[in-house]
Amino acid sequence: MSIRLGPKQELGIEEIHQLGKSGTTVELTDAATQAIEESYEHVGDWLDEGRVIYGITTGVGELLHNIVPPDQSREMSHNICQSHAVGVGDRLDKAMVRRMMGVRLHTFAQGHSGVQLALTKLLQELINRNITPVVPEQGTVSASGDLNPLAHIGTVLTGDGDVLYEGETMDAAEAFDHEGLDPITLEPKEGLSCMNGTTATTPMSAMALREANHVLKTSLLATALSMEVLHASAEPFDPDVLAIRPHPGMLRVGTILRDILEDSDLIRQKEVIQVEFDELLNEDESVHTDAFRQDSYSLRGIPQIIGPTLESYHFCKDTVETELNSVDDNPVVIPEEDQCLHSAQFHAQSLAHSMDVLKLSLAEVGVICERQAARLLDPAVSKGLPPFLAPDELSCGYEGAQYVAGSMIAENRVLASPVSIQSLSLNGQFQDVVSMGLIAARQARTIIEHVRRVLDFELMAAAQAAEIRGPDHLSPVSQTVYETIRDEIPPVTEDRQLTGDFDRMEALTKGGELVRMVENTHGAEQLSLAFPEA
């Protein structure tokens, strides 16, 4: 697959995912080449005119008071990248660094950064030849851009730093020799442009959203299966009740569940429930019944609880896709106006805020799905299912597995705390409000992974309950879910270690395989998270 970069070329979340794959290449459009060269020429003209421009003929950050002679600006450009390549912690995975390089190249291709064409061509070659800079994941506050991680990429362009090449970590210069590539000398502004942007936070956020999409769809499949084996009511999803509180997320979630459950023999229909309770009415005295006229919030409140998460997902997706196709540099070159404008385009607050929203929203999905699963295990509310779905009185069933879900919920409650308000004043109070965007995006992915594990537990437990109720009575969609699980995981007929079952469920849910199976069998529209057009 080849991805074209340049003006009017839109990147979406799926393109960012593809950029992470070693076989994906990138190419610059003719319009990109022209825009890059034009903005670079303007920077050269301004240097010849003796203009004072931040990061070109001044120091950076609190050092902006240092006015630098034009003939020393190349040395300063080199020093900026060298001094900021100071990340710590584990490495970002190769796929994420490739995405960062692709997004940065797309930014340069808009023609507002003033970098030389040779820099963009070398960055393109690194992507296409699978030479990937080694970038630590910690060390950025995502305010004057993701300075530290991006500086590690910038230094590689000059032949410094480490790269991953053909499965080995080596000096960038050695990898260049293998491929016949020449490093570049950073021109004025290029040290700053290489690292002044949200280009670590943005692809990390894009991947969080891609994973959130899978998890949201999986949560609705798990919810439907749990509702069926718990003999829940479909009445809360009646279009008449949803229509009088028409939040788009509530409407879409209610519609998805109503469509899935429509042909289930296990779901209690509202007409049958009404008749059952009408027959219990005694005009002379109160009558006690163990039957449920309406279900618990974790079953009947799905549209009202998961619906807002769907709305948050769309808000976050819009924010990230806008950022993917923006210029986040500073200062920026406006060639048609012959201007170099100073601003804070690099600030990642919009991304940090959206990732905090995503964190909170997905953590709530984990909470409600854990509560659904808990009902499957509790004979007081499971409507006839054995304790912990155990096969006999000597067995524990899913008793131990429930602790996994509980621990995931506890960790998520800590991680869901907003990081976008954890600002620190840095750089001599020059960067006095910072976003912590990459931290928020990393935490969002961790929360999503924890929720996925909660869903793995719920799906395994619900499949075990379906074994007891009779899987032939499930709706067609839930039968597909059940059969897909059973193809990998046998029912619990005696106690066994369930770690392997969790591993097999991970293979179904982590990459969206279970969702794809349902969509391929029943149509992609069955689980579409898109809101209908008004």
Contact 427, 61 (CB under 8 A): yes
How far apart (Å, rounded) are the C-alpha atoms in residues 473 and 486? Answer: 16
Question: Of the residues 40, 54, 297, 482, which is catalytic?
Answer: 54
Spatial CB neighbours of 457, under 8 Å, sequence gap ≥ 6:
370, 373, 398, 401, 402, 404, 405, 502
- Count the Cβ atoms, other than its own, within 10 Å of residue 534: 4
How far apart (Å, rounded) are the C-alpha atoms in residues 182 and 176? Answer: 6
In the residue annotation, 54 being an active-site residue is answered as: yes
- Count the Cβ atoms, other than its own, within 10 Å of residue 33: 16
How far apart (Å, rounded) are the C-alpha atoms in residues 34 and 116? Answer: 11
- Count the Cβ atoms, other than its own, within 10 Å of residue 64: 13
Spatial CB neighbours of 458, under 8 Å, sequence gap ≥ 6:
222, 226, 369, 370, 372, 373, 376, 405
Q: Return the structure tokens found at 229.
A: 């084996």
- The residue type at 110: Q
Between the alpha carbon of residue 146 and those of residues 151, 198, 376, the distances in Å are 8, 5, 45
How far apart (Å, rounded) are the C-alpha atoms in residues 462 and 482? Answer: 8
Residue 283 sits at φ, ψ, to 5 deg, of: -70, -15
Q: What is the DSSP string of 51-106?
A: ---TTTTB-SGGGGG-B--GGGHHHHHHHHHHHH---EEEEPPHHHHHHHHHHHHH
Active site residues: 54
